Amino acid sequence: MLDGRRPPAGQLPRPATAHTLLTASWHILDRQTTYHDLGADHFLNHVDPDRRRRRAIAQLEHLGYTVTINPATA
């Protein structure tokens, strides 16, 4: 990486993944607890829905769209 070239595809995220596993392991061992999976949708559902809606609207407006929101009828 010192010469400015990127490593081949698939090799870049390994250190980040290893760091994440090491950090999680340290916290589990330090707190003497068991692993608790937060679920596949944790990062989608832990943010306030209104905040997600505002962020999505802002992103679309930044791309040049005019956004009108109409509530869905059940």
Over residues 2-11, the pLDDT tens digits come to: 566 776 766 6
Q: Which of 34, 52, 35 is nearest to 43 (CA)?
A: 52
Q: pLDDT tens-digit profile of 24-72?
A: 899 999 999 998 888 888 877 788 889 889 999 999 999 999 999 998 8
Contacts of 61 (CB under 8 A, 6+ apart): 67
In order of 8, 53, 58, 59, 74, the CA distances from 71 in angstroms are 46, 12, 18, 19, 9
Q: Where are the domains of the chain?
A: 14-62
pLDDT at 10: 64
Q: How many helices (H) and strands (E) does the chain have?
A: 3, 0
Per-residue pLDDT at 3: 65
Cα 63 from Cα 46, distance rounded (Å) = 26
How is residue 9 written in tokens?
Answer: 């595809």
Residue 2's pLDDT is 57
Examine the pLDDT at 1 and tell me if it is beyond 70: no
